[in-house]
Amino acid sequence: MTPDAPTTRNVPALLAGLHTEKATATVLVSGTPGGAIHVRDGMVVGMETPGAPGVEVLLLKSHRIAEEDWTAVRATGADPARVALELVAGGLLGAAELEITGRAALFDAAFALALTSPDGWEVTAPRSLLDTGTAVSPDRLVTENARRLRLLANERGATARFARDRLEPAPEARDPRRVARLSARHRTVLTAADGRRTPRDIAFTLGRGLFAVLLDLRDLLAEGFLRSPAAAPAPRPSTAPRTSPAATAAAPHPTAAPLPRRKR
C-alpha cells in the first residue's frame, strides 16, 4: 500500500476518490492477479490484468480481426494506443462494436481483479492503453461486480475458489447424445475444460470473457458434464552427467560406441 494513500481503504474507494477529483491517472494494482486501471477525467476507461482477456485477445482469438490486419495496422506506425481506432477508421471494425468490446473487457477485468484482495496499489501518471472509447464510472463497476458475484455464488470467496478450479470432463461428457443437446457455446467451453485449465485459461483460449466462461462452467458442472480433477503422479529420470563414450580416450572401436543413454 502506498504511504501517501492512508485514507483509501480499498481500490473502489480509491477510484471513487479519483472520480470526485476528475483525475487522470493509472492505478497499478499488485496482487494475484495484479493489473493496471486507467482513469481519465475520473472515469475508468480501461483495465489490463493477466486475470482476464483484454480487447486484443477478444478481437484476435474470436477471429473478429485477422492477425494480419492487426499487424498491418501496427506496421503503419500508428500509436499502439490507437490500433483499435485505426481498425475502425479502416472499416474493419465498427465504432460501436469496439466500444462494446472495450466495455465488456473492462467489466471483465474489473470482475477478475475484484475476486482477490490486492497486495497494494499505487497511483501513477497516466500510461498508454488500447483506446476503445469506453468510459465507465467507478460506481457502475462496483454495482456490476456485485451483480456478477450474486449471479455466480453470492459470495466472493466461493467465486474466487471456483475461478481457480481446473475442472475436467466427467464421464457424462463422453456421451455424444447428451453433449449434442448442449448449445454450441457450452460445447466449446466443455472441450476447453481439460482438467489443466482454470476458467481464466479457458477464457484466454477461447477469447471469451472470464465471467461468461464461469457462467457456462457453472451450468456444465450442474449438468454433470464437468468435475474436479484427480492428481496423477509420475517419476522422473536422472540428470547426472552422462559418461560420454568419447571421453574414454582409448576407445578401440569408435563406431561401437553406443548413443548417449539416459541414466536411470
Partner 1 sequence: MNDPVQDILVSLRERVMGVSETVLATVDGLVVAADADKTHPESMAALASAALSLGNRLAEQGGTGTLRQLTAQCGAGHVIVTAVGTRALLAVVTDEGIDGLAFDREIPTVVADLKKILANDTA
Q: Which residues sit at the interface with partner 1, rule CB under 8 A?
A: 30, 32-34, 50-54, 56-57, 60-61, 67, 194, 196-198, 200-201, 204-205, 231, 233-241, 260, 262-263
Pull the grid cell for residue 102. Answer: 472495450
Q: Which is nearer to partner 1, 43 or 110 (CB)?
A: 110
Please state the closest distance from residue 205 (CB atom) to partner 1, in A: 7
Please state the closest distance from residue 244 (CB atom) to partner 1, in A: 10
Residue type, 174: R
Q: Which is nearer to partner 1, 119 or 139 (CB)?
A: 119
Q: Are strands 43-48 and 226-227 parallel, antiparallel or unpaired?
A: unpaired
Pull the grid cell for residue 126. Answer: 497516466
Please state the closest distance from residue 235 (CB atom) to partner 1, in A: 6
Hey, is 114 helix, strand or coil? helix
Helix axis angle for 138-152 and 210-222, nearest 10°, is 10
Q: Which is nearer to partner 1, 42 or 53 (CB)?
A: 53
Q: Which is nearer to partner 1, 51 or 102 (CB)?
A: 51
Please state the closest distance from residue 50 (CB atom) to partner 1, in A: 4
Report which DSSP code applies to 226: E
What strand order describes the sheet that includes 120-124?
A: 43-48, 35-40, 25-30, 120-124
Q: Which is nearer to partner 1, 99 or 194 (CB)?
A: 194
Pull the grid cell for residue 245. Answer: 563414450
Q: Which is nearer to partner 1, 101 or 135 (CB)?
A: 101
Whether the CB-CB separation of 109 and 35 falls below 8 Å is answered with yes
Q: How many CA atoms lie within 13 A of 105 on its CB side?
A: 30
Please state the closest distance from residue 30 (CB atom) to partner 1, in A: 8
Whether the CB-CB separation of 42 and 21 falls below 8 Å is answered with yes
Burial of 64 (0-12, 13-18, 19+ CB in 10 A): middle
Please state the closest distance from residue 240 (CB atom) to partner 1, in A: 4
